[in-house]
Structure 1
Amino acid sequence: MKIGIGLPNQVRHVRPTVIPEWARQAEQAGFSSLGTVGRIAYPGVMDTVALAAAAGATSTIGLLSTVLIAPPWPATLLAKEAAGIDGVSGGRLTLGIGLGGRHDDFVVDGLGPRGLGKRLDSDVQVYRDVWRGEPIGGGTNPGVPAGTREIPLLFGGMVPASFERVARSGEGYIGASMPAGMNKPAFDAVRAAWSDAGREGSPRLVAIAYYAFGDIDQGRANIHDYYMGMGKELADMVAAGVSGGPDAIKETVESFAAIGADELILNPSLDDLSQVAQLAATVL
């Protein structure tokens, strides 16, 4: 199982200048990917911006959104944005996307929190049309340079429609910010949907988990704050699941390896740069 690290882009009031150096240190340490956690109505750095900054600061490490909330975006704009990040990184982006669950993230007129599944399916086709160089905006010009590739797509979500979307339109699946045992049924369902759809090989299964060194209580408080928009019960559960310190983090890694995750992204709960080296010393 590969081990990646998240950028601290959605730690409340993150210091944005930390992000490029965090990315550089993560690449030097040998992590497989840099991930982002994304929402709009929160005082962090937009995942597309964080990924672009990471792309410019690195040259080999993978880039992965885990997950970007796609339906609030006009599809053509997100497709062009993602193509730009992928292009400047030299083809290192994987776009992990989900529906979103908090109404305040839907800030664009006409793109409210209704009919999200159907809208995402339609948006995926728009993304691919843009990446293939088809004209946009009713004119004759494509929106991306020649040679733009189709960016690999992963999908999040905990319902059967999400698993079927992976099998129909994606390269894999991103689990929820929950313990391995709670993600196992979803991983199994994605594998079954993949097989039922007649897809060759296996879906890429990515897990995510939060960690903290040092001020573990503050790390848990940050994660609780981030998830409160989805209710106290969920916020309590995710915050309690933050792996605090080396032993807990090692146990988390082992638990996700045991359910067959291909990659685990360990997301920070603090924006202290020392978190990168401490995690590398623990898990790499």
Structure 2
Amino acid sequence: MKIGIGLPNQVREMDPAVIPAWAARSEAAGFSSLGTVGRIAYPGLMDTVALAAAAGATSTIGLISNIMITPAWPAPLLAKEVAGIDAVSGHRLTLGIGLGGRPDDFVVEGLGPRGTGKRLDNDLEVYRSVWRGETADSTSNPLVPSGTREVPVIVGGMAPASFERMVRWGEGYVTPSVPAAMAGQLFDAARTAWKDGGREGSPRLVAIAYFVLGDEAQGRANVRDYYSSAGEELVAIVDGAICAGPDAVRAAVEAYAELGADELILNPTLADIDEVARLADAVL
């Protein structure tokens, strides 16, 4: 199982200037990927910006959004942004997508929080069209350079439609930040949907988990703050799954490996760059 690390792009009031250094240190340490957590209505750094900054500061480490709230974006614009990040990184990006669950993240007029599932299905058609260099109705020019690839997509979500979307469009599935036992059930659902949908082989399975190796109280407070608008029940689930301390992190790595995860992305709860070295010492 590969072990990646998240960027601290959604820690409240984080300093965006930390992102390039965080990315470079993570690559040098040997992590497999750099991940982002996505919200819009929060004082963090947009995941597209964080991924682009990380791409420019690195040369080999993978990049992944887990997940990006894609229905909050106009589809042609996001497709162009994603293609650009993938290209400047040397084709290291995986686009992790999901519907989002908080109405305040939908800030673009006409792209509200209702009907996001149907909209995402339509958007995925648009993404593929843009990446293939097909022209949009409003322009005689393609939106991306020739040679742009179809960016790999993994899908998040727990509803049956999410697994159907994975089978149709994706190369795999990414879990939410939940305890390993719950993630295991979601992995099983993804495998079943993949097989029932007639896809060959197995889906790429990515897990995410929060960690804190520095100030635990502050790390937990940051996570609770980030999820506070989603309701106390979800806050309690996510808080209870935080890996606090080296032993807890190593236990999570073992648990997800046993579940058959292809990659575990450990997301920081602190924007303290020393967390990169602490995590590397614990699990690499």
TM-score tier by shorter-chain length is: over 0.9
8 A Cα contact 2:179 2:240, kept in partner: no
Match of 2:64 in 1: 64
- Aligned equivalents of 1:137 and 1:76: distance in 2? 11
Match of 1:145 in 2: 145
Task: Kindly provide the CA deviation profile for residues 86-107 of structure 1, in whole angstroms up to 9, marking residues without a partner as x.
Answer: 0100100000010000000000
- Aligned equivalents of 1:109 and 1:162: distance in 2? 25
- Aligned equivalents of 2:87 and 2:104: distance in 1? 31
1:198 is matched by which residue type in structure 2? Answer: G
Task: Kindly provide the CA deviation profile for residues 108-128 of structure 1, in whole angstroms up to 9, marking residues without a partner as x.
Answer: 011111111111011000000
* Structure 2 counterpart SS, 1:63: strand
* Structure 2 counterpart SS, 1:81: helix
Q: How does 1:1-284 map to 2 (within 5 A)?
A: 1-284=1-284
Task: Kindly provide the CA deviation profile for residues 167-189 of structure 1, in whole angstroms up to 9, marking residues without a partner as x.
Answer: 11100000010011011111111
- Aligned equivalents of 1:121 and 1:270: distance in 2? 34
8 A Cα contact 1:220 1:240, kept in partner: no
- Aligned equivalents of 1:164 and 1:240: distance in 2? 29
- Note the residue ranges of structure 1 that are not aligned, 5 or more in a row: none
- Aligned equivalents of 1:12 and 1:122: distance in 2? 32
* Structure 2 counterpart SS, 1:139: coil
Identity %: 68
- Aligned equivalents of 1:242 and 1:195: distance in 2? 32
8 A Cα contact 2:66 2:174, kept in partner: yes
* Structure 2 counterpart SS, 1:271: coil
Most deviating of 56-65 and 160-169: 160-169
2:268 is matched by which residue type in structure 1? Answer: P
- In the TM superposition, residue 137 of structure 1 has moved relative to its aligned partner by 4.6
* Structure 1 counterpart SS, 2:72: coil
- Aligned equivalents of 1:204 and 1:63: distance in 2? 15
- In the TM superposition, residue 268 of structure 1 has moved relative to its aligned partner by 0.1
* Structure 2 counterpart SS, 1:144: coil
TM-score (ref. length: structure 1): 0.99
- Note the residue ranges of structure 2 that are not aligned, 5 or more in a row: none
Most deviating of 131-140 and 77-86: 131-140
- In the TM superposition, residue 240 of structure 1 has moved relative to its aligned partner by 2.5
